Every structure is written in structure tokens, then in C-alpha cells.
Chains A and B, each alone.
Chain A
């Protein structure tokens, strides 16, 4: 039984990281109806910048905050320069611009930092806590704690501040918001800046776990995108739920699929290769039943590509 809980717990930890990145996707989608494939690469770039900061002796907490600010700055800049003209185009062109951004940013990261793997030391080290036979890694606890704190901050920001209210209004109905005197252009930039910051946090938290390289985010990107769509692209709660769900399901499949299938008589060699397949099946299954994702609103049939 403790093995099961252990597997689920590890899934929750990775799932929280997926949730953070999925949250960044949702923030951008709500603000600009744009799927930002470059989110992962943005996070990688800002994490490399954070590594440089650590390298020159900046303490970890300050580095974390600075990375958030830098991520926000880069995100906002991209919105102003590239995305603003692209908003007038169709979805398919937005996807291509997304891909172009992905290439550009990953090239910048590769060019400035080359291909070596670097290490960011986890800020919290020590033996894992043990509760009832389950190992709770300290850094994992830190990751979940940070992520929850960020999400709580974001929720409070959207719920209780005027700026957050203005952002929500712009995302909901841009023309009406403009008529109320909200500078909608600033809101769009702010949405991207927030997403950049959230993505940067995800990157910095992920780096001690998998090592900092230019490929760090590629695998996480797909899971995070699936998580965002699973929860509904317009719903932040969906992003969180989707991320944790996918993380847990992936871990469960990796740990138990061979045993389950043995009961039915099918023998498989390596259950880990089924992790991505499980996530994809889950995603498609949910979308067939709820076309808008778990918490999102299905787009009306009037929407055009």
C-alpha cells in the first residue's frame, strides 16, 4: 500500500510542475487565444539566466525573484513585438508563429549557452521525510509548496485586485472592456508577462530535478500542453487539475501496467514506454466526452480556422 502512495506522491510532484506550465498556457490562451509552443523554451532560457545569476553569486531566493521578473519582461516583450501583429491572423498562422518563436528562442538559448548540461543545486537538501513508509523528498515538498504559493498569489491577484479584474474583463470580452476604459493593449502584454513569469518559475523548480540543458523542457512541454487542454484551455483550475492528473496517471501506468496486463495474460517488457500513450489516451478520451476539456467551455461551432 505504501508503494502505491509513493507512486501517487511522485506523480503529484511532477504533476505540479506540469500544472505550472499548463497554467502559463492557459493564461496566454485566455488573454490572446494563442497557443504558445514556445512557453517551454522561454522557461528554459530564463532558467539559464538564473543559472548565470547563481554563478555570479546571487543567493537563491533573490535569483528566484529576479528570474520571475526577467521571465515577465521577456514574455511581455514577445507579445509586443511578435504576437500583437499576429492577433489579426487565423489560428493556423498563430500556430506557425508559435513554432517560429519556438525555433528562435531555442536557438538563442543554444547559441548563448551551448549544449552542456549544467546543474542548479536544489536549495533544500537532506534526507527525505518518512511518513508511514512513504518517502517524501524534501525538494519535492519545496516544489509543491512554491507552486501552490504561486498559484495562490495568482488567484488572489485575479480575484482581489483591480488590475486582475481588468485582466479578466479583457480576456472575457475585449470590446466591452475597452468601452469601460481599460487599456486592453496593456492587458494583453500583462497576460503574456504573467505567463512568462509562471513559466520561468516552472523552469527554475524543474532544473534541479532533471538537470539544466537546452532540451530540459521538451518532454514537459507536451505533457503540460495536454494537461492544459485536458482541463480546458480557458480554465486555470483545469490546468492545475489536469497537470496533477496527468502526472499521477503517468506514474501509475509506469509502475503498475505490467502487473495489470499480466492478469489478462498480456506480457509487456517495459511499462514506462506506455506513459505517453496513457496520457494521450486520457486526453482524447476526456475530449470525446467533454469537447471543451474538464472545466473549459467548448468553442462554438461558429469559430473558424
Chain B
């Protein structure tokens, strides 16, 4: 008797494989994009398969822990660094997900929490000589305290105002750390570095190299965080937080303390951000610089969360995969391929992107006609790309091409997959009744 693989595991594996393949070169990118389109098309798996019982969180935890074991045997240090970055980004994104996804507050100051955590770990374990594990734990606590403090004014702001206000806090974090008045504590412009204090594996794990031990620490922390967030999301507190996001009035009327839970969400998110920052300090060879926590990083985190899927436990993991293996690497790969003169690949990429968008937005009608329109648009897009590339030959700097494709990929992903990749799994997709938008609400409200 054959075991039917549950659809969530299937879509997880498929998405992860697609994202990993996107980091390869040449035709593999095409295959990966075609695969992504296929995932979108076949997402309506038969109901019998979807009835499987494996929770996404288990899939996530297994994936992360398995990676943790795998790196124990991988001597290749570049892969190890990427895996460690993946792990700490999972923690950071889970934190961002708690406040942006579960609680619905656009707090864009997450990078500042990362920075606070990194500096706390550096100061405590470097300057004051605490054991590193304690330093990392303390980083989470300190960041949580700052988050709790910030949640007081944040409770009064909403929507875009909160986003921009917290964004400005994130922007000034770097300059504040660089100030001379603080340089006694923070090292000013040069940052803090403690290369000479290695963090080696304790007794039962002596057979691991230092780098491998760091990776094990980071990845098991990430797995633990995923499990914790899954428990939080399924608990009554998590449900209450989401209720407060979806309809604050109704939630308040059944006794949910919405402002308190909003503060709690920001605090938890800050704690996870601080934890991730401390891991960053570890991964960065015990060196932290004020220039590492920029607006660019905040935007990368936000984008990764959007693409991976917010409001699910799986989303941040997919988002971290996307960020490490596609976003940061894809730019260079595509540029190199373009320099080789392969307009065809460019055209195919453009065609697939156009297909994704057209399939979603083509005029409603019989399914085959919609697909014909979509394919027509895709072919037109491909031809137009080849035409433009030939016309602009020599006038367009290839170095800009990566940014162009990344931006286009972002726009297309948000248009075609608005709830992120994790929403491809029917079990983690949110109910359709929640698809209302702020515009509708604003129109229905009585003008004051």
C-alpha cells in the first residue's frame, strides 16, 4: 500500500527545491522558474492528498534540524556560511512575522532590534567576558525590553504612519551607534571585534570544527524558534493576537485585550530580533559593525517575509531560503549570464514572469481561453525582451540587470502570489473572507 505524501510536505519540498535551483546557473534558472509556475498551477492537489496530517511546523523543524546534521559533515566553508546566514535569518523573519503577520502591525524597526541584540551580545560576552551562550540569551532579553518600551508609542500609531515612524528609527540606529559619546561602549565607527575569543564546541561535541559548531548552534536555535512560534500561533494567545488583527472591535467585544496583545507581539518580535542579532555577532566571527544594520537590510527582511508568506510558520523559512539563495546570489548570476550574450535566457525569464502575472489577471472566462491569453502575453513579453535587448545592446550596463530582474521578480511575486509562497499550501492559506483591503474599509467609513 502506497503512502500518500501530504500536500504540505510536497509543496514545502517543491518550493525549497525550486528556490535552491534558482541559485544555479543558466538553464537551471529556466527550469526553476518553470517549476515555480508548475507549483502555482498544480496547487489544487486532490483532496485525498491534502487530508494528510503533517503540520508545516514539523516539516520546517525537520528541514532545519536535518540541515543542522548535514553541515556537521560539510567541510566547505562557503556553504556553511550560507547555512548559518539562513539560520539566523529564519529567527529574524519569525520575529518579523510575529509582529507583521500575526499581529498586523507594520513595525519596520526590526533591524534596530537585530542591532541591539548584536551589540548586547558583543558587549556582554566580549567586553565583560560573559559566556557566549549567556550573552546571546541576554541579547534577546535586552531587545525585548526595548521592544516593550517602543510598544507604548507604537500602540497609538497605525498603518503607514507606524511603518514610516519605525522605519526612521531603524535608519538612525546606525548613526546612533556611531556617535562618539557612545563609542566607549559601542566602539563607534569601527564597531566591536573580539576575534581572539574563539567559541569552541564543549566536551560532548569536540569532534566538530569551530565553524561547524557555530552552524549547529545557529540552526538548532532556528528550529527551536520555529517550534516555539508554531506553539505560540496555535495557542489561545496566538489566536487572540490574530483576532485582534483581523477585527479589533469584534475581538475586543469578546474580551480580547487588543492593545496589550499588540504590545506583547512587539516585545516577542523584538526578543527574536535580538536573538537573531546575537547570532549574527556569532556568525560574523565575533565582530559587529554599525554599518551592518541598514535600511537595505530591513527592506530585504520585509521582502523575504512577503515572498515567503506571512502569517504562517513556514513562510519565514521559505523567505530565508529565498533571501539567501535567490535574492543575494541571483543578482550576480544573472549579470554574468547576460554578459555572455544570452538574450534567450533573459527572454524566457521575462516570458515566465509575464505568464505568472497574466494567468492571475487575465479576463475571467473559460479556463482554456484564459491560458491562451496568458501564453500569448508571455510570448509577446519574450519577443519584446529580445527586441529591446538587441536594440539597447551596448547602451545598457549589464551591472544593472540584476537589480532590474530582482525588482521585476518582486513585483510579479507580489502580484501573482500575494500571500507568499507558503500560501500555496491549501492548509496554511488564510480563509477567503479575510481578503478585504484597507481601501474598502476606508471607503465605507464615515468621513469626519
Q: Which residues of A contact B (CB under 8 A)?
A: 29, 33, 35, 82, 85-93, 95-97, 99-112, 114, 172-175, 222, 225-226, 229, 233, 266, 268-270, 273-274, 276-277, 279-280, 283-284, 287-288, 291-293, 297-305
Residue of B nearest to A93 (CB): B414
B residues 63-98 near A (Cβ < 8 Å) are: none
Tally of chain B residues near chain A (CB < 8 A): 67
A sample of 18 more A-B contacts (CB under 8 A), given A86-B415, A291-B158, is A85-B361, A87-B437, A87-B439, A88-B439, A90-B437, A100-B414, A110-B397, A112-B395, A268-B180, A273-B178, A274-B175, A276-B172, A280-B168, A284-B153, A287-B165, A300-B445, A302-B248, A305-B105
Choose one: A35, A97, A114, A222; the contact of B414 (CB below 8 Å): A97
Residues of B contacting A103 in the complex (Cβ-Cβ under 8 angstroms)? 403-404, 406-407, 410
Q: Does B366 contact A (CB under 8 A)?
A: no
16 A/B residue pairs, CB under 8 Å, sorted by A? A86-B415, A89-B437, A92-B100, A92-B310, A93-B418, A95-B106, A99-B407, A104-B404, A107-B403, A225-B167, A226-B168, A233-B161, A269-B180, A299-B442, A304-B441, A305-B159
Within the complex, what minimum Cβ distance (angstroms) separates A265 from chain B? 12
Within the complex, what minimum Cβ distance (angstroms) separates B174 from chain A? 9
Within the complex, what minimum Cβ distance (angstroms) separates A256 from chain B? 17
Choose one: B159, B408, B448; the contact of A100 (CB below 8 Å): B408
B residues 425-446 near A (Cβ < 8 Å) are: 436-439, 441-443, 445
A95 touches B302 (CB 8 A): yes
- Considering the chains assembled together, what is the distance between the CA atoms of A98 and B129 in angstroms? 44
Choose one: A88, A95, A174, A280; the contact of B163 (CB below 8 Å): A95
Closest 6 CB pairs of A and B: A103-B407, A111-B400, A100-B410, A104-B407, A107-B403, A107-B404
B249 touches A302 (CB 8 A): yes
- Considering the chains assembled together, what is the distance between the CA atoms of A240 and B169 in angstroms? 22
Residues of A contacting B306 in the complex (Cβ-Cβ under 8 angstroms)? 92-93, 96
Contacts A93-B418, A96-B414; A29 near B160 (Cβ below 8 A): yes
B164 touches A35 (CB 8 A): yes
B106 touches A280 (CB 8 A): no
Within the complex, what minimum Cβ distance (angstroms) separates B137 from chain A? 29
Within the complex, what minimum Cβ distance (angstroms) separates B296 from chain A? 10
Contacts A90-B437, A93-B414, A277-B176; A111 near B404 (Cβ below 8 A): yes
Choose one: B104, B175, B447; the contact of A172 (CB below 8 Å): B447
Residues of A contacting B181 in the complex (Cβ-Cβ under 8 angstroms)? 266, 268
Q: Does B401 contact A (CB under 8 A)?
A: yes
Residues of A contacting B24 in the complex (Cβ-Cβ under 8 angstroms)? none
Q: Does B384 contact A (CB under 8 A)?
A: no
Residues of B contacting A29 in the complex (Cβ-Cβ under 8 angstroms)? 160
Residue of B nearest to A301 (CB): B248
B168 touches A99 (CB 8 A): no
Residues of B contacting A273 in the complex (Cβ-Cβ under 8 angstroms)? 175, 178-179
- Considering the chains assembled together, what is the distance between the CA atoms of A114 and B394 in angstroms? 12
Residues of A contacting B448 in the complex (Cβ-Cβ under 8 angstroms)? 297
B residues 144-186 near A (Cβ < 8 Å) are: 153, 156-161, 163-165, 167-169, 171-172, 175-176, 178-181
Choose one: B104, B246, B397, B445; the contact of A114 (CB below 8 Å): B397
Residues of A contacting B158 in the complex (Cβ-Cβ under 8 angstroms)? 291, 298-299, 301, 303
Choose one: A87, A92, A97, A114; the contact of B411 (CB below 8 Å): A97
Q: Does B396 contact A (CB under 8 A)?
A: yes
Q: Which residues of B contact A (CB under 8 A)?
A: 100, 104-106, 153, 156-161, 163-165, 167-169, 171-172, 175-176, 178-181, 245-246, 248-249, 295, 299, 302-303, 306-307, 310, 357, 361, 395-404, 406-411, 414-415, 418, 436-439, 441-443, 445, 447-448
Residue of A nearest to B155 (CB): A291
Residues of A contacting B408 in the complex (Cβ-Cβ under 8 angstroms)? 100, 104
Contacts A112-B396, A273-B175; A229 near B164 (Cβ below 8 A): yes
A96 touches B165 (CB 8 A): no
B175 touches A283 (CB 8 A): no
- Considering the chains assembled together, what is the distance between the CA atoms of A174 and B169 in angstroms? 34
Residue of A nearest to B410 (CB): A100
Residues of B contacting A110 in the complex (Cβ-Cβ under 8 angstroms)? 397, 399-400, 403
Residue of B nearest to A175 (CB): B443
B161 touches A91 (CB 8 A): no
Contacts A88-B437, A304-B104, A304-B436; A293 near B397 (Cβ below 8 A): no
- Considering the chains assembled together, what is the distance between the CA atoms of A102 and B165 in angstroms? 20
Residue of B nearest to A90 (CB): B437
Residues of A contacting B106 in the complex (Cβ-Cβ under 8 angstroms)? 91-92, 95, 305
B165 touches A284 (CB 8 A): yes
Choose one: A112, A269, A304; the contact of B438 (CB below 8 Å): A304
Within the complex, what minimum Cβ distance (angstroms) separates B40 from chain A? 16
A222 touches B302 (CB 8 A): no
Residues of A contacting B163 in the complex (Cβ-Cβ under 8 angstroms)? 35, 91, 95
Residues of B contacting A291 in the complex (Cβ-Cβ under 8 angstroms)? 156-158, 161
Residue of B nearest to A232 (CB): B161
Choose one: B104, B299, B443; the contact of A305 (CB below 8 Å): B104
Residues of A contacting B441 in the complex (Cβ-Cβ under 8 angstroms)? 302-304
- Considering the chains assembled together, what is the distance between the CA atoms of A277 and B407 in angstroms? 30
- Considering the chains assembled together, what is the distance between the CA atoms of A293 and B158 in angstroms? 12
Residues of B contacting A109 in the complex (Cβ-Cβ under 8 angstroms)? 400
Residues of B contacting A173 in the complex (Cβ-Cβ under 8 angstroms)? 443, 447
A86 touches B414 (CB 8 A): yes
A226 touches B104 (CB 8 A): no
Within the complex, what minimum Cβ distance (angstroms) separates B332 from chain A? 14
Residue of B nearest to A277 (CB): B172
Residues of A contacting B161 in the complex (Cβ-Cβ under 8 angstroms)? 229, 233, 287, 291-293, 298-299
- Considering the chains assembled together, what is the distance between the CA atoms of A277 and B168 in angstroms? 9
B168 touches A111 (CB 8 A): no
Contacts A93-B418, A111-B397; A303 near B442 (Cβ below 8 A): yes
Contacts A175-B443, A233-B161, A300-B445; A284 near B168 (Cβ below 8 A): yes
